[in-house]
Chains A and B, each alone.
Chain A
Amino acid sequence: MNHEQFDRVEAYLQNALSGPERLAFESELKENTELRTEVEVQQKIRLGLRALAIEKRILDARKRTQITPKTTIVRTLGKVQNWGLAASVAVMLGAGWLAWQYNQESGSSQLRELAEQEMTDVRYKSMPFDSLQNITKNANSEDARQKAEWYVALAYMHEGKKKEAKGLLIGIAKNPDHAYQKRAEKLLKEGFK
């Protein structure tokens, strides 16, 4: 099979031949066994490679949507109980650390919950973080840029990145023209006291 024939088969499989060209090709297909085999094998390769591309994307989606197990305070407390009285000083320090840890965890889970409540658009909610950030800079419409900015702030909240979330929310709340100004103000009051 030469280059030209290869291109012709490819054009046929991509539906890129004109009506008459297609008819001529199909009538040739009936007569020419070699051409038929070529079409079949190219079809097979295209299908296989298409499937491999889809598989790759499915695995990427799996990776992105997988929830990382959260370390729970109960599990940490279980370990503390086994230390015993002999380590009372350590327990006291541990208790202090646990209280701090508890506050951190409950604060994070509250932020996550608040963010979840606000993430009502599944398209934006499911969007990879990089894509959201890209939209905040490059989208043609102001609406899209503002919405993406709002979701970036929510994503930070969801991941417990309080400082980053707060910075963005303050920016949104200070902008009277921002579509999410009121909601940013509300979130700042509820989640960042």
Chain B
Amino acid sequence: MTTRKTSPLSQSELYEALKKRQGWAYDYLYGELSHSFRYWVERNSGTEMDAEDAFHKGLLNFLLNLETGKYEFRENTKITTVVFDYCKKVWLNELASSRLKKRAIMPDAYDPVNDVDLQKDLERAETIAQVRAALDQLKADCRRLIEMFYCDELSLKEIAKKLGMKESSTKQKRYDCTEKLKQLVLKQAPRN
């Protein structure tokens, strides 16, 4: 009887799993990085809450870039290092902001304000907030359907089954609800 050696996790496996939003891959990143990142923030003028906030923002930026193709995976890159860097930049940007400018001297020569990629990533927060606010204003049945379709990525057939509706009615309802959401998002958007 041979005891087999368990294979170590390859970076491309982790990348693919994150792309598919597999729970274990999210858990892995969280487990591997949250403590070390908190330690780093606490050593760089931040609190535990600052660390958690920056960690979530950095992780979200990375995962959004991964899903939208903005982040391109390279075989020799360690994903945890990349994610740590995303989170680190978020915190350095916070430190450079007017709110915290007086709290500490910047620990790095890096200038987050002139990091175009970072600023673009952070600008998305505005869009996310608008969509969240619009979604909250939708009626419960519409919100549920939109979440099932766009967030949980269920097919119309699966949604129809869950809601006890015909597939054709579900398609029409999805259209109507998305239209309502669109109007609410447009209302939220700042006018130029």
Measured CB to CB, the residues of A under 8 A from B are 1, 3, 6, 41-42, 44-58, 60-62, 64-65, 120-124, 126-128, 131, 147, 176, 179-183
Contacts and interface: CB of A to CB of B under 8 A. Distances in A.
B124 A51 contact: yes
A35 B34 CA distance: 43
Q: Which of A47, A57, A120, A147 has the most CB of B within 10 A?
A: A57
A146 B128 CA distance: 43
A179 B129 CA distance: 50
Given A46-B150, A131-B23, A54 B60 contact: yes
A51 B17 CA distance: 17
Interface residues of B, number: 48
Given A45-B178, A176-B1, A181-B1, A60 B7 contact: no
B135 interface: yes
The secondary structure that dominates the A interface is helix
B26 A60 contact: yes
Interface stretch (B43-51, B96-104, B112-120, B181-189): B181-189
Interface of B: 1, 3-4, 6-9, 13, 17, 21, 23-31, 34, 56, 59-60, 63-64, 67-68, 124, 127-128, 130-132, 135, 146-147, 150-153, 175, 178-179, 181-182, 185-186, 189
Contacts of B185: 41, 44-45, 48
Nearest to B149: A49
Given A42-B182, A48-B127, A52-B128, A126 B56 contact: no
A52 B135 contact: yes
Nearest to A56: B151
Contacts of B151: 49-50, 52-53, 56
6 contacts: A3-B175, A49-B150, A52-B151, A57-B23, A121-B7, A123-B17
